[in-house]
Structure 1
Amino acid sequence: MENLEESLSENLSESARVAKIFHEVMMLFRQNMTKVFEDIGITAHQGMVMGILSREKTLKITELSARLNLSNSTVSGIIDRLEKQGIVERNRSEEDKRVVHVSVSPKFREHHQFFHKRMDENFASILNKGTPEELKKIYEGLETLKKLLSIRDEKKAQE
């Protein structure tokens, strides 16, 4: 019984260490991404909206809000600023005038390409500092984490 308790304690301790380092990496990633967004003249939230719209093309404000885990009014303000920059367009639904769809504008595509170029350059400058062995370890670790997170999501979906 003592060995089981020790094993559980060690696993919890190891899990806490993984969670702590993951949190630290996420904070550094967020800071780094904020700088990339600033370089192209947008905020991090605006960049997240652009990322979602680049994949989905058109979404309702409520759908964007849910994806970003932000209130409708906050997302609406973000959309206001992006619309002023000519990056997104709003369209009211013909069936229900209360529903607003947001879609990318042609200018968005230019920003999107520039943003991806800057992101690639940013990651290249960071990752070029690592050895091939370090990069392989990072890749393998991230693949393992992705797999573990996917398993958790699959179990939730089955419940």
Structure 2
Amino acid sequence: MKKDEELLVALRKIIRAIDIRSRQLSKEVGLTGPQLLILQKVGKQKGVMVREIADDINLSSATVTSVLDRMEARNLVERIRSTEDKRKVGVFLTQEGEKALETAPLPFQEHFTNSFNSMEEWEQSQMVATLQRIATMMGAQDVDASPVLEIGSIIEK
């Protein structure tokens, strides 16, 4: 097999593993990866603003707002306008959101992160540079993406 084919096979394996885990998470707890990340952020920081969530998980505010709309419809979170500054809206977990967060498994990337952190710093840097280069080669450098290992639309239809 040629080198480019070997690389594409490795990428397909990564995508497939992410897809399998995403479906498992959705089936087990009814959450997408980004929803789980948002629940975790809101659970740690009551009243967090959308912009802070977006910055923390590396998604646009518009994307986070769309995900929050669906989460609010499912009664997982609620948005409450500040009484001091009407322009500010904080995000809070509901009781349902707290239950979902308690029962949710660790995100798929937890195992990956532990393995990655056990590598030497030079090897980590090399891996990051290589994958950033691949993303650029695929024209994906400007794609809105969170550090969640999940594929498909993050906005449920």
> Normalising by structure 2, what TM-score?
0.56
Aligned residue among 16, 21, 27 for 1:33: 21
CA distance in 1, matches of 2:84, 2:34: 29
Aligned to 1:105: 94
Specify whether residues 141 and 68 from structure 1 end up closer, same or farther in structure 2 by C-alpha distance, changes over 3 A only. closer
Q: Are positions 1:67 and 2:56 aligned together?
A: yes
CA distance in 2, matches of 1:94, 1:50: 23
Q: Report the identity percentage.
A: 22
Please state whether the residue corresponding to 1:144 is helix, strand or coil: coil
Specify whether residues 28 and 80 from structure 1 end up closer, same or farther in structure 2 by C-alpha distance, changes over 3 A only. same
RMSD: 3.5
CA contact under 8 A between 1:33 and 1:44: conserved in structure 2?
A: no
CA contact under 8 A between 2:43 and 2:93: conserved in structure 1?
A: yes
CA distance in 2, matches of 1:140, 1:54: 26
Q: What's the CA shift for 1:25? A: 8.0
Q: What's the CA shift for 1:26? A: 6.1
CA distance in 2, matches of 1:146, 1:115: 31
5+ residue gaps, structure 2, are 1-6, 126-157
CA distance in 2, matches of 1:149, 1:64: 26
Q: Which amino acid is 2:19 matched to?
A: Q
Aligned length: 114
1:147-158 pair list within 5 angstroms: none
> Normalising by structure 1, what TM-score?
0.55
CA distance in 1, matches of 2:95, 2:43: 11
**Which is bigger in relative contact order (C-alpha 8 A, separation at least 6)?**
2
CA contact under 8 A between 1:37 and 1:47: conserved in structure 2?
A: no
